[in-house]
Structure 1
Amino acid sequence: MRMSMATPPPQDRRMARKALVAASIGNFVEWYDFAVYGYSAAVIATTFFPAGNATVGLLGTLAIFGVTFFLRPLGGILLGRLGDRVGRRPVLSLTVLLMGIATALMGLLPTYASIGIAAPLLLLVLRLAQGFFGGGEFSGASTYLVEYAPPHRRGLWATLSMATGVFPFAICGLVVFGVSASMSEQAYGAYGWRLPFLFALPLALVGLYLRMKIEETPEFRAVKEAGTVERSPMRTLLTHHRRAVLLVLAIASLNAVGSYTVTSYMPTFLTSHAHLSQATALIASSAAVAILACLLPIAGSIGDRVGRRPVIVVGTIGIVLLAVPGYLLAGQGGMLSALIGQLLMIVPLAGISAVLGPSMCELFPTHVRYSGSALGYNVAYALFGGTAPFVAQSLISRTETPIAPAFYLVVFGLVCLVAVLKLPETSRFSLATAAVGDEEPPHVPISQENAR
């Protein structure tokens, strides 16, 4: 197994700050698309599907949301391979631009009434494109930040990026609410819903500009200078790092189901089953998600101090215990109860989300880090993240039990807890020797790594 050389001298603080901002903005663009699609599910259902059956339209909208996740692993494999061979920076520049273009084009699509079945098909094509390029975004941004961060702050830096992936759910909720409140319901349904999608393009252009200005990570430069760039990352992963890939798969699956059941699906749940107005549901959900974004850096810092494993174990147990009470409260029909119910689930979810980014990068050595984290993360989100809103709505429809999604979350949490308990503590070791695999090398403590 090839290992990276010692970390080169640190970059100055100004470059480090630029790296943090540039890596984070792409994550914002990626999740902005998912947020605006989730918050606009009701109007998308009536715009791109036949009128007359609201349930079929909503399920179709959620199905497209889920199906596009199945292209994320392919994007993760191909873009991760590029990231491990040519560098993190060029791949991240590509992903932020093309994700933004795909999202903006959704806002220009004709309706079902105009072109019939071609409307949902075109929507599907753009969502597939967004899913493909999104497959290389979060894992790439996390890899970039973890490799650039000071050794004792890897958790904090990675969770700052994660927070920028959460903020779109809060900001987008306010954007959708602001646009819908500024015009009549008829005008919003006719053209107003398109505006939040179009906003993605300028965001992507800003992200591209920032990413073109940053340097490659010290870790990757060391590998390149040593001539140990991996030629076949996937082969190496499946040969030497199967255990690490499975651990990332388990952690990411738990985070995916928790995130999409508690955030993306919640506005639909609050309007359809708690009978809140769209405005009230958006305000409650946006406030809850904003709190989650603020909790993430705190949880990341705690993970740097006490370790990744204790934080995610406590978070997983919290989700198992609080999912049912949280959904019961959220379904009571008031904005305050909706907010408190979501917070019961969001607080433990913050612990899980905060550990995901740094852990999935620390489990792999530099020469396969991008590919390894992308593979485990995207397979998890394809199987369990994108399908979570559809599964939640289907469970409610079949069981006629509004809190059925909570039981799904509980069962999933119990299953994943077994894997979480097997997670090794990675926060204390140098990235230069990071690896959990079939031939696990000796780890070097951070105290022996060159100070950054």
Structure 2
Amino acid sequence: MRRTIAGACAGTIIEWFDYGSYAYVAGTIAVVFFAGGDPALAVIQSWGLFALSFLIRPLGGLFWGYVGDRIGRARTLSITIIGTGLTTTVIGLLPVYSVVGFWAPILLLVTRLCQGFCASGEYAGAAVLVGEHAPPGRRARYVSFIAIGNSAGFMLASISVTVLQAVLDTAAMQSWGWRVPFLLSAPLTLVGWYIRRKIDETPAFVEVRNGAAQSAPPLLAGFSAHWKTFLRLLFVMGINAGAYYLVLAYMASYLQEEVQLSAFQSNLIVTIALLVYLPTLYFLARLSDRIGRKPVLIANTLLFLVFSFPSFLVLDHGGFAVALVVQILMTSMFAFSDSTFATFFVESFPVNVRFTGFASLFNFGVAIFAGTTPLLSSWLIGRTGVAASPAFIVMVLAAACLIALLLSPETAPGKKVR
């Protein structure tokens, strides 16, 4: 299990290291990749490109899901980690607007689309791999290491950017400093690929592969037999994807633009909150193994419904200390979802369509909710002038998720009741 978890987490760390790096240097990217003028518009353009890069992910999820259900989880993940790491490194080598003009944002978008396609099989494949290796009674706590891995990627990105902003001035960050986090993915990829080469295929997949032939391809079988499950879980994915990129990615930019904290202070707050967040994921996953998936996931929706708006209101009237407390609170609330949803998804699909079901569901949800949430938040604040506008987005997603969970069966072994 140690080797399996290490190999599975390696790719998710690299994937979210890239997304975190982009989020934490979004302000700098807005300056170096877009034409000068209105700084607020440049930031919206930067987040708009971030959102557009997610559009390829549903296609990638379908592709890698099909491959993973055909050739195996371990072999597929050995391929995706190379593509993810290579495209992330290329971002750090791209020319900027002052060099190639309007081609700069186009090249950035194309590279991020390629990165998104390669990364589309990472999270789902890693969760399925660990979930199928794990003992049923300990599945959530082992699968939670995938969430810990991607959050660790965010934390490494936050630490990297925080250090760079502490030692470099604005001119240096805009000249070359922003490239460093993306280039760091190259050595991380090599280490991750080496570890993944030694992972065994899951017993569940081997059993299905050696058994009777499937009656239909994974994609067709998955959607025809499990479309109701897919629809319900898409709303569960909504709060996970939307809140993830709002709380862990967009907040660094929000604290700078709306709370008027420095870039260093904002990224330091995110980093400290992530240090609290990582162990919280594991302990909530253990709770999920004890009481079931639904109670933990429902608690997440209720917490966001009650505390989202007050949290954003408080941010308007406080400085560094208040922002730190609010960020820790919001990441802790989100941990109820992130600790458990992947296990819930793994257990909701049978083995022969599990990778396809999870990967397509995860990436459709990411495409719809993840990149658009920071963009919509920034747009709403600009149109309404209300700094607490992002809270309403989270509350709507939480309400939809709550309804979907109430209509879903429990999946935890020994607790499968409506």
- Paired residue secondary structure (1:226): coil
For residues 94-243 of structure 1, the aligned pairs below 5 Å read 94-228=79-213, 232-243=217-228
Letter in 2 for 1:276: L
| Shift in Å, 1:176 | 0.6
Q: 2:242 aligns with which of 231, 236, 257?
A: 257
TM-score by structure 1 length?
0.90
CA shift, 1:184, in A, is 2.6
Residue in 2 that maps onto 1:320: 305
Residues 339-398 of structure 1 show CA distances to partners (whole Å, capped at 9, x for unaligned) of 111222222211111121101010011000000011111111100111111011001001
Contact residue 241 and residue 369 of structure 2 kept, 8 A? yes
Q: Indicate the residue corresponding to 1:290 in structure 2.
A: 275
Contact 1:95 1:133 in 2 (8 A): yes
Whether the aligned pair in 2 keeps the contact of 1:163 and 1:296 (CA below 8 Å) is yes
Cα separation, 2, equivalents of 1:31 and 1:228: 36
Provide the secondary structure at the position in 1 that maps to 2:176: helix
State the one-letter code of the partner of 1:140: G
Tell whether the 8 Å contact from 1:228 to 1:367 is kept in structure 2 after alignment: no
CA distance in 2, matches of 1:265, 1:331: 16
| Alpha-carbon distance between aligned partners in 1 of 2:314 and 2:129, rounded to the nearest angstrom | 39
Q: What amino acid is aligned across from residue 109 of structure 1 in structure 2?
A: L
- Partner of 2:53, secondary structure, is helix
1:68 shift after superposition: 1.1
Deviation at 1:231, TM superposition (A): 5.2
Partner of 2:8: 23
Within the alignment, does 1:337 sit opposite 2:322 as a pair? yes
The CA distance in 2 between the partners of 1:194 and 1:330, in whole Å, is: 31
Cα deviations by residue, 1:203-262 (Å, 9 ceiling, x for unpaired): 111111111111111110111111445751111112111122112211111111111111
CA offset at residue 185 of structure 1? 2.2
2:381 equivalent among 385, 396, 409: 396
Q: Structure 2 matches for 1:84-99, cutoff 5 A?
A: 84-99=69-84
Letter in 2 for 1:247: R
Q: In 2, distance between residues paired with 1:327 and 1:202?
A: 38
Judge conservation of contact 1:295–1:347 (CA < 8 Å) in 2.
yes
What are structure 2's unaligned runs of at least 5 residues?
none
Q: Is the 8 Å Cα contact of residues 255 and 261 (structure 2) preserved in structure 1?
A: yes
Secondary structure, counterpart of 1:126 in structure 2: helix
Deviates further, 70-79 or 324-333:
324-333
Partners in 2 of 1:85 and 1:166 — Cα distance? 29
Deviations 1:150-182 (A, max 9, x none): 111110011111111112222211111112222
Say which SS state the counterpart of residue 193 (structure 1) adopts: helix
Is the contact between residue 166 and residue 290 of structure 1 (CA under 8 Å) also seen in structure 2? no
Give the counterpart of 1:387 among 369, 372, 396. 372
On the 8 A contact 2:373/2:393 being kept in 1, the answer is no
C-alpha deviations, 1:260-284, integer Å up to 9, x for none?
A: 1111100110000100001000001
Q: CA deviation at 1:58?
A: 0.8
The 10-residue stretch of structure 1 (212-221 or 222-231) with the greater mean CA deviation from structure 2: 222-231
Matched, 1:63 2:71: no
1:425 aligns with 2:410: yes
Spell out, residue by residue over 1:85-141, the C-alpha distance to the aligned partner (whole angstroms, 9 max, x if none): 010011111111111111111111111010011100000011101111111111100
Please give the per-residue CA displacement for 1:28-58, whole angstroms capped at 9, x wherever unaligned.
1111111000001000000000012212211
Check if 1:367 corresponds to 2:352.
yes
The two structures, once aligned, show a CA RMSD in angstroms of: 1.5
TM-score, structure 2 normalization? 0.97
Name stretches of at least 5 consecutive residues in structure 1 with no aligned partner.
Answer: 1-15, 431-442, 445-452
Dislocated runs of 4+, deviation >4 Å: none
**In the alignment, which residue of structure 1 is the partner of 2:333?**
348
> C-alpha separation between the residues in 2 aligned to 1:200 and 1:186?
23
Tell me which residue corresponds to 1:80: 65
Q: Aligned pairs, how many?
A: 417
